[in-house]
Amino acid sequence: MVDVHRSIDGFRSTLDSLRREGATVGFVPTMGYLHEGHASLMRAARRDCDVAVASIFVNPLQFAASEDLSTYPRDIDRDLDVCSGAGISHVLHPSVEEMYPGGPVLTSVSVSKITERFEGASRPTHFSGVATVVAKLFSIVGPCRSYFGEKDFQQLAVVRRMARDLSMPVEVIGCPIVREPDGLAMSSRNVYLDAAQRDAAPVLYRSLQRAASLASTGVLTSSDAPSVNEVESVVADAIAAVPEAELDYVALVDALTLEPAHAVGGSQRLLVAARFGSTRLLDNIAVG
């Protein structure tokens, strides 16, 4: 049975009481319309901690005026079923007015440098909105371990850096991407894909796998040390060959700093974003 809290004060008071009794807290922030990827984070929180909790809040601050806030999918009854099945005990499900009382938000949190490229370049206000709401949620929840999926790899890096820079009593845990049987990374936005786009979308993961193979073995080139451009081109060329897809970016980056790689080697991540019609999908893979 999941206890649903609409009040910030009530949710915070409940978690403070649990910690006074000696419990550790695992926290999963979400925007709802939950799928198996979210459930995997919740199960990890329940496995690692005495109490697993979550938030369900569609955060308006991370949507630009041209983006899909009003049509973002919502199904709170189904979401609560997912939470219950994954071992969540308490859910914060506040209104916008509860989260941001008093009208427009005058305080924001921004993380520089690692937000300037990739998603930050495509969606200039996005990461400030993410950092602000996550900082607020961390303040509400208090000391905890918080679980994020690696699909939004740049977001994970932003949250980790914010928590470290601001000395928040939160350990940020990254969890593996959960995929459909054909390799498509699970995402709440997959529901927007039509049949042809859905059939085409697994090209992201297939191309990432092939590029990662090239990066680790050089099997697709005569050189034992493929260049960054060769690795990125494997993804770009594969997406260019799919009529339903339009590449936004592909980049091989340092897995910690997200700085673009100058050579292949070490702990790296290959990031990709592409549009399928009006739906923009992200994916990534570890390299090295």
Token couple for 278 = 């009006």
Encoding tokens for residue 217? 């073995």
Q: Helix, strand, or coil here: 284?
A: strand
42 DSSP 8-state letter: H
DSSP H helix total and E strand total for the chain: 10, 9
65 φ/ψ angles, rounded to the nearest 5 degrees: -60, -30
Catalytic residue (choose from 5, 35, 38, 126): 38
DSSP secondary structure string for all residues of 177-233: PPB-TTSPBP-GGGGG--HHHHHHTTHHHHHHHHHHHHHHH-TTSSSSS--HHHHHH
Active site residue 5: no
Enzyme catalytic residues: 38
